[in-house]
Chains A and B, each alone.
Chain A
Amino acid sequence: MDCMMVQQLIGPMSDAQLTQELDDSITLHCLTCPQCSQELHTQRTMRTLVQHHLIDRTLVVTDSYRSRLMRRLTDRFSHFHGTTAVSANHTQYQLPIQLEES
């Protein structure tokens, strides 16, 4: 495996999207190639930084906002019942996803 191919696969590798066999080939290549090794390090580091600093998982909607929103949606779409709805031309259709009540 040469550097050009490795550089094309480093992105998917850092996203765990390659087979184990390809992963191993790239790892072997990086052991002896400082340039590709550095690139792999960059991709992993940037991914980790973005995960840790650009997302605030504690940010959730407040109960008051949720209530206001649901009231607004219910007023506006009173024709929705469960996952069934009626379009503007009165055609009945199913909402595209089914979610289990938790």
Chain B
Amino acid sequence: MELLVDHYIDGLLRFVMRIVGSREDAEDVVQDALIKSFERAYQFRGTPASFGAWLYAIARSTALDRRRQLRFPFAQMTLIDDISSPTEPHSSLHALLWSAFERLSEDDQTVLILCDADEMSHADAGIILERSAVAVSSQLYRARRRLRDEMARVKEVTPWIA
């Protein structure tokens, strides 16, 4: 059990933190997700290789539940601070990207996080998102285009960024 936890815990924390926004909430979510996964471990029917994706799927669902309970996710509050601080030019691209990212749908955000940020295979991302690897590829393609469009839009309305 300890080996399992050590193998996944850092990645899970980073993944969940991007959904719920704060470290404190992310740590709670990771704990809940691990408890759920051990409770349900005997229900797991996949291959050993897909166990990580299954665990991430539980974490994602737990994190989304937590995010719905939060009125003002920390990530969004940080973002507003970033945008209203044009005195920090070194973080402007970062702020622009986050601002655009926050405007994407939950599915687009998740596919970008899993496939581009975490470099997960489309097949594993498909297990988490409950769709085929081909569908993940298509969604990722569209999500990147929407991210570009949103970045252009945000830059237009907040010209001091980037």
Asked whether any CB of chain A lies closer than 8 Å to the CB of B64, the reply is no
In the bound assembly, the distance between CA atoms of A93 and B40 in angstroms comes to: 12
Interface residue A3 (Cβ < 8 Å from any Cβ of B):
no
**CB atoms of A46 and B48 under 8 A apart:** no
* Residues in chain A near residue B9, CB distance under 8 A: 61, 66, 69
Secondary structure type dominating chain B contacts: helix
Chain B, 6-28, CB within 8 A of any chain A CB: 7, 9-10, 13-14, 17-18, 23, 27
Of the residues B13, B39, B44, B141, contact of A11 by C-beta under 8 Å: B141
Query: Do B1 and A73 have beta carbons less than 8 Å apart?
Result: yes
Q: Is the CB of A65 within 8 A of B27?
A: yes
Residue among A17, A46, A72 making CB contact with B147, cutoff 8 Å:
A46
B74 at the binding interface (Cβ < 8 Å): no
Instruction: Check B5 against A55 for contact (C-beta < 8 Å).
Output: no
Asked if residues A42 and B97 are in contact (CB atoms below 8 Å), the reply is no
A101 located at the interface, meaning its Cβ lies under 8 Å from any Cβ of chain B in the complex: yes
How many chain-B residues does the 8 Å CB contact rule pick out? 49
Query: Which of B3, B4, B101 touches A101 (beta carbons < 8 Å)?
Result: B3
| CB-CB contacts below 8 Å: B92-113 with A | 93-94, 97-98, 101, 112-113
Complex alpha-carbon distance, A45 and B35, angstroms: 38
**In the complex, which residue of chain A has the Cβ closest to the Cβ of B15?**
A55
Q: Is A34 an interface residue (CB 8 A)?
A: no
Roughly how many angstroms separate A49 CA and B113 CA in the complex, as a whole number?
Answer: 11
Are A85 and B41 interface neighbours, CB within 8 A? yes
Report if A19 contacts B (CB, 8 A): no
Identity of the chain A residue whose Cβ is nearest the Cβ of B10 in the assembled complex: A60
Starting from the known contacts A43-B144, A45-B148, 16 additional A-B residue pairs (CB-CB under 8 Å) come to A15-B115, A15-B137, A50-B97, A53-B93, A54-B18, A54-B97, A59-B14, A61-B30, A66-B9, A69-B34, A73-B5, A73-B34, A85-B41, A85-B42, A96-B46, A97-B48
Q: Give 8 A-B contacts (CB < 8 Å), ordered by A residue.
A: A46-B144, A49-B147, A50-B97, A54-B116, A70-B5, A73-B35, A80-B38, A97-B51
